[in-house]
Amino acid sequence: MEKKRIKRALVSVYHKDNLDVIIKKLHAEGVEFVSTGGTQSFIESLDIPCSAVEDLTGYPSILGGRVKTLHPKVFGGILNRRDNELDKAQIAEYEIPEIDLVIVDLYPFEATVAAGADEPTTIEKIDIGGISLIRAAAKNYNDVVIVASQEQYEPLFDLISSNGAETTLEERRWFAKEAFGVSSHYDSAIFNYFDGQDKSGFRMSENNAKILRYGENPHQGGIFFGKFEDMFEQLQGREISYNNLLDIDAAVNLINDFDDITFAILKHNNACGIASRPVLVDAWNAALAGDPVSAFGGVLITNAIIDKTTAEEMNKIFFEVVIAPDYDLEAIEILSQKKNRIILIIKEAKIKSKQFRSLLNGVLLQDKDTHIETPEDLKVVTTKAPTAGEIEDLLFANKIVKHTKSNAIVFAKNKQMFASGVGQTSRVDALKQAVDKAAAFDFDLKGAVMASDAFFPFPDCVELAAEAGITAVIQPGGSINDKLSIAKCDETGLAMVTTGFRHFKH
Ligand SMILES: NC(=O)c1ncn([C@@H]2O[C@H](COP(=O)(O)O)[C@@H](O)[C@H]2O)c1NC=O
């Protein structure tokens, strides 16, 4: 394949860090440089000659830097087709020097918005010349190499190290693809800034793609767009799968709601065991007791550093993934005995505040359900008020039910989930499922509390809960039949609190 040599580079970068390495490398290959003000000074500070773009255009940088490179002498040098006779003639006629490489680092628009800058400052950070350079050079990838962000310095460096300053069409096309990734991401950010809360269009841009082994099932393809490694460090284990990612997301969302030392075990995005205890191993044992059968092959998460004693207990069961803020050395030794086990350190627990999913012929977007009930949210609606201990358990159970697939019912006592009913088509079925599960694992529901993710349309749930031994109930309230459930509580001696917040999870 024919290779093309880079003879002249136009360099215009906002952040100058790491630029020296690539400039020195290109200089050693005999590449000439032309640059905008700050970048030119930087290159010259390396004792490398660099001509000013002003000398090329015959114009100074004007309008406070709004117009620097926007000139036919620059864009003609980039966009001319080297094999087009008319282009060649015009380039010669107007004395336009060819530019074979463009290196740009755009004005930091997103960072400026994130820093909370005012509108005039933000608008000045909309790069015009840089984005045009990127677009032009990427369009003419047949002849030009485009490095559109600092992330492509390394690939270019590696290329020059192995090939000298010569590139193939295929290599230049790869850089062009990356460049359009940069420019479209940049414009999406600008659109979202202008669109604000109007949400007149959906733009989500993610440049990092990880091809997964498969999707939800082996016959489905799957890709994760995102930077998993920004949130997690994988200490060992097999490649993260599509379903692992769904479970990891559910696990992190769940554990984020707990401040006490807590251990949770999840299966298919629902907690099958969870408990809070002052000592981690006790939290683990109590979580596992919730449903030791479902725990098999589950995803484990805790908000505390895993110690040796806890690791020894955990090691007794088969599980796929464990997530923790850290591990003691001895704990790692124990947990890493099973080589396929995915062991993750959670570095950054912050998750996007918006949720979206594709459906029908479009996309659904919503705010994440971040509401966590506090004692102040609770309204006692029955004659009997819950005890202090029951209130703690009600809030504990309510956090779990919020992260459980609807219709959902959770039973808990002493900050341990006893059982749950998940994903049922009727609330009463969810409740019956929870009662059966509690019985299956020998939990006495006497004195336990019940949380419901949505209101009770009929008094049947409360009646069944009372029969099972439940003494206090938490629910959003808001049904036209609330009074029937409340009356049933009063009749059977239950305390009930309402929160005013429904937590459906469809
Ligand atoms: N207006 C222009 O013609 C123009 N040409 C290049 N830039 C940007 O100017 C920056 C580099 O400026 P300097 O070399 O002066 O530090 C780069 O981020 C580049 O994307 C421009 N500035 C913004 O649009």
364 inside domain = no
Q: What is the ipTM of this complex?
A: 0.93
Residues 186, 261, single domain; the answer is no
CA of 85 to the centre of ligand 1 (A): 31
Across the strands, what pairs with 472?
Answer: 449, 495
Residues 235, 305, single domain; the answer is yes
Residues 158, 244, single domain; the answer is no
Q: Where are the beta strands (DSSP E) in 50-124?
A: 51-52, 101-105
Residues 284, 414, single domain; the answer is no
383 inside domain = yes
Ligand 1 atom showing the smallest separation from residue 37 Cα? 15
Which member of 7, 268, 338, 384 is catalytic? 268
Whole-number percent of the chain with pLDDT over 90: 96
CA of 65 to the centre of ligand 1 (A): 7
Residue 398 phi, psi (nearest 5): -65, -35
pLDDT band at 383, cuts 50/70/90? very high
Average pLDDT of span 466-482 = 97
Cβ of 130 below 6 Å from ligand 1:
yes
Residues 309, 382, single domain; the answer is no
Residues 450, 410, single domain; the answer is yes
CA of 38 to the centre of ligand 1 (A): 9
Is 139 catalytic? The answer is: yes
pLDDT band at 267, cuts 50/70/90? very high
Cβ of 107 below 6 Å from ligand 1:
yes
Q: Which of 448, 488, 486, 489 is nearest to 468 (CA)?
A: 448
CA of 61 to the centre of ligand 1 (A): 9
Residues 144, 60, single domain; the answer is yes
| Domains of the chain: total | 3
State which residues form the domain around 66. 4-195
Cβ of 68 below 6 Å from ligand 1:
yes
| Whole-prediction pTM | 0.89
pLDDT at residue number 351: 87
Q: Where are the beta strands (DSSP E) in 155-278?
A: 166-167, 209-211, 223-225, 232-236, 262-267, 270-276
Q: Where are the beta strands (DSSP E) in 14-77?
A: 32-35, 51-52
pLDDT at residue number 489: 98
Pocket test for ligand 1, best of 10, 11, 14, 146 (most atoms within 8 A of CB): 14
Query: In one letter, which amino acid is 94?
Result: Y
Is 185 catalytic? The answer is: no
- Spatial CB neighbours of 287, under 8 Å, sequence gap ≥ 6: 263, 264, 265, 273, 274, 275, 416, 417
Average pLDDT of span 314-327 = 97
pLDDT band at 350, cuts 50/70/90? confident
CATH of the domain at 466: 3.40.140.20
pLDDT at residue number 2: 84
